[in-house]
Structure 1
Amino acid sequence: MKITNGIKAIFLAGCALLMGCTSAPKNIDPVTEFQVKRYLGTWYEIVRQDHAFEEGLSEVTATYSMRDDGGVAVVNRGYSAEDKKWREAEGRAYFVNSSDVGHLKVSFFGPFYGAYVIFELDKKDYQYAMISGPSRDYFWLLSRTPRMPEEVKRRLLAKAKALGFPMDKLVNVVQSSKVPAS
């Protein structure tokens, strides 16, 4: 079968797009001296940019554990008040370069991966983290507890704003004691 230049260009553009999905946005640097074992466990979503896959969800958590293949298992869970039920997505993540750099690629379906860039982290106690996807259109502020001190939240969001994340698209995630055990 002969491959035309047009098909070749589409194929190469698709490959570049897929490979680019695991890159950090320009001027968003992943944390270094990252310790995955300290990051494992449950994190609560405090603020996010809303997307179709999380739209309308409250009580959102992300739980991380080690996989047998050296990767990280990811379970995202949230409550849909509209459907009156919990939604859950299971994925897997792998370090892009080194396990001591907070830059992973994550997949929730098939061979398609997206960037998971930890660009801010409470390295002392691992109590909060800010995450970016492959662009500034993806942002999460996570905490080890369902609520975060307001002064910490304001400081972190000011940093995200200074880095160019659109503040007008953020959603404050409702958290309560309804979160089911994993």
Structure 2
Amino acid sequence: MTVLLRTLISALFVALSAPSLVYATTLELPTVSQLDLERYTGRWYEISRLPMWFERNCTGDITATYTLRADQRIHVVNRCGTKEGFISANGIAEMPDPKHPGQLRVRFAPDWLAWLPAVWGDYWIIDLDPQYRWVMVGAPNRSYLWILSRTPALDTTTVSSLKQKAAALGFNVDEMVNVTNAPQ
């Protein structure tokens, strides 16, 4: 692939993945004040999410697997079932400011684009079970929201409670997509 073609594809990726600037809210988005990265690593199952273009072909069995690296960054592997099989994406997550451990950022763009702020997406941990059994992650502009669990399903009471909290924080939970994952 030529350098020009790679640059054009990368620019398109950046333009499509940049958070929406249209939605604004006056509510601050609180995040967890403590995060143990080692406990956070491992496999998480997507339970519910706001619709997003990069998951448009996902039909179920959606997971995110996080592995802590020696440099304290997290290797990310997102995987989902599609009509044709499975697809996956590899990325990197990091904690830019240790004073705000719940405000991570993630990128799936190539390393050579890491210097561009637009390739990084907000991955803010809004709520986290003390035993790390479930987590709610979003973006301060309210364009992204996920409820994840360590198990393929999460009880409806917890999911409902998390959605209520998200709604109170300004997320449009009426649009959330519930995910079906195969039992373990």
Residue in 2 aligned with 1:48? 49
Which is helix-richer, 1 or 2? Answer: 2
Question: Whose strand fraction is larger, Structure 1's or Structure 2's?
Answer: 1
How far apart in 2 are the matches of 1:73 and 1:165?
Answer: 27
2:29 matched residue in structure 1: 28
Q: Which residue of 1 aligns with 2:98?
A: 98
Which residue of structure 2 lines up, in the alignment, with residue 176 of structure 1? 182
Q: Residues 18-52 of structure 1, C-alpha deviation per residue, up to 9 Å, x if partnerless?
A: 8xx9xxx7511110121111111000000001111
Match of 2:14 in 1: none
1:37 is aligned to 38
Q: Which residue of 1 aligns with 2:121?
A: 114
Contact 1:34/1:100 (<8 A) preserved? no
1: CA distance, partners of 2:172 / 2:49: 11
Residue type of the partner of 1:164? G
Count the aligned residue pairs: 154
1:74-115 C-alpha deviation (Å, 9 max, x unpaired): 10000112xx11110000011021177111111000322111
- When Rg is computed on C-alpha atoms for both structures, the one with the higher figure is 1
Shift of 1:167: 1.6
- Matched ranges for 1:122-137 at <5 A: 122-123=129-130, 125-137=131-143
Distance 1:94 1:66 in 2: 10
- Note the residue ranges of structure 1 that are not aligned, 5 or more in a row: 1-17
**SS of the residue 1:101 aligns to:** coil
Percent identical pairs in the alignment equals 36
Which sections of structure 2, spanning at least 5 residues, go unmatched?
A: 1-17
Q: 1:100 to 1:136 in 2, by over 3 A?
A: closer
2:70 to 58, 68, 71: 68
Partner of 2:81: 79
Aligned-residue CA RMSD (Å): 2.0
Q: What's 1:161 paired with?
A: 167
